[in-house]
């Protein structure tokens, strides 16, 4: 099951992608794709529907972020072996946690803003994990029971703000449009093994990131269990699991950063693709 949201910014409606790749309107069934509607009963009700009975959405509407009213965007840093190596760091014994402001969430094809004063805006393709029920003090062997699905994400980052502006990484991670999510929220049953997915990103048609989620340092069950011992995870929370090598700041000898007019295209096996144009804020 692939859930999505479509329509103008702040006016999105819930939708379902049918087997022919057409959008079907879910607004007669649920009010939106959010934590409130990620419970097992509601999802089972949607799963049982014949998509052909739902209204067909005509044309090519804008696709919004695949989930709304997100309580937390929790990110895991340096969580691919190859990415840690390219930036000269060692993987941490526990997941390295930072946050992105929820106001950074945007649609998968919306423009990405380069912040005022930025010289080092960078890209990071990531696997997003969407939580479906409240998780507190859970163990690793229980963790996947709390996952409702997965989505593609771009953890856009301003490296100078992140590293050199007298604070935690959140300064470089939270500008508007720095968290494109979607195009779909893909239910857990559609992804046999989230640790065996190809993951890639291109800038202006050149592939810079090309890896597999098998390269994760801290896998999803460990990460969820770990987080649940430090904060309560709630339905609709999104965990970004890290990025592989090939980010702009890791390119040697000359790092590459986004400039207005450059285009990012990215994807994860089974989760669709995104495409964003970089523009000045």
What DSSP assignment string belongs to 141-210?
GGGGGGEEEEEEEE--EEHHHHHHSSS-THHHH-STTSEEB-S-EEEGGG-S-TTS-EEEEEETTEEEEE
- Give 82's pLDDT tier (boundaries 50, 70, 90): confident
- pLDDT value for 39: 93
User: What local confidence, expressed as pLDDT, does residue 61 receive?
Assistant: 98
Q: Is the pLDDT of residue 167 over 80?
A: no
The pLDDT value recorded for residue 168 is 81
Q: Which of the residue ranges 31-35, 165-169, 190-194, 262-266 would you say has the lowest mean pLDDT?
A: 165-169
pLDDT above 80 (res 235): yes
What is the per-residue pLDDT across 84-118, written as a single tens digit (0 to 9) for each? 888 888 888 999 999 999 999 999 999 999 999 99
- What element of type H or E holds 226? helix 220-228
Query: What percentage of the chain reaches a pLDDT higher than 70?
Result: 100
What share of residues in the chain are helix, strand, coil (percent, to 5)?
20, 35, 45
Return the pLDDT at 189: 95
Buried b (16+ CB within 10 A) or exposed e, 164-184: eeeeebebbbbbebbbbbbbb
Arithmetic mean of pLDDT, 1-6: 98
Model pTM score:
0.97
Average pLDDT over the chain reads 96
- For the segment 54-65, the average pLDDT, to the nearest whole number, is 98
The pLDDT of residue 275: 98
Residue 245 predicted with pLDDT over 90: yes
pLDDT at 159 over 90: yes
pLDDT value for 35: 97
């Amino acid at each position: 099951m692939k859930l999505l949201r479509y329509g103008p910014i702040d006016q999105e409606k819930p939708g379902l992608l049918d087997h022919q790749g057409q959008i079907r309107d879910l607004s007669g069934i649920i009010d939106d794709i959010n934590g409130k509607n990620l419970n097992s009963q509601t999802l089972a009700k949607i799963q049982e529907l014949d998509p052909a009975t739902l209204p067909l959405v005509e044309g090519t509407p804008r696709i919004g972020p695949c989930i709304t009213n997100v309580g937390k965007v929790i990110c895991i840093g340096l969580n691919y072996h190859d990415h840690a190596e390219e930036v000269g760091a060692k993987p941490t014994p526990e997941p390295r946690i930072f946050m992105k402001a929820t106001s950074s969430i945007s649609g998968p094809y919306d423009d990405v803003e380069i912040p005022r004063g930025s010289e080092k805006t960078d890209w990071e393709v990531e696997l997003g994990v969407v939580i479906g029920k409240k998780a507190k003090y859970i163990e690793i062997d229980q963790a996947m029971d709390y996952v409702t699905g997965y989505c593609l994400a771009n953890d856009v980052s301003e490296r100078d703000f992140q590293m050199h502006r007298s604070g935690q990484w959140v300064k470089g991670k939270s500008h508007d449009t720095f968290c494109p999510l979607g195009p779909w929220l893909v239910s857990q049953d559609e992804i046999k093994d989230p640790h065996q997915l190809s993951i890639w990103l291109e800038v202006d048609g050149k592939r810079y990131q090309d890896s597999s989620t098998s390269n994760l340092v801290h896998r999803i069950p460990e990460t969820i269990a770990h987080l649940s011992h430090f904060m309560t995870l709630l339905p609709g929370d999104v965990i970004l699991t890290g990025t592989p090598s090939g980010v702009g700041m890791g390119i040697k000898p000359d790092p590459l950063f986004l400039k207005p007019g450059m285009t990012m295209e990215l994807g994860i096996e089974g989760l669709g693709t995104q495409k964003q144009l970089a523009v000045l804020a």
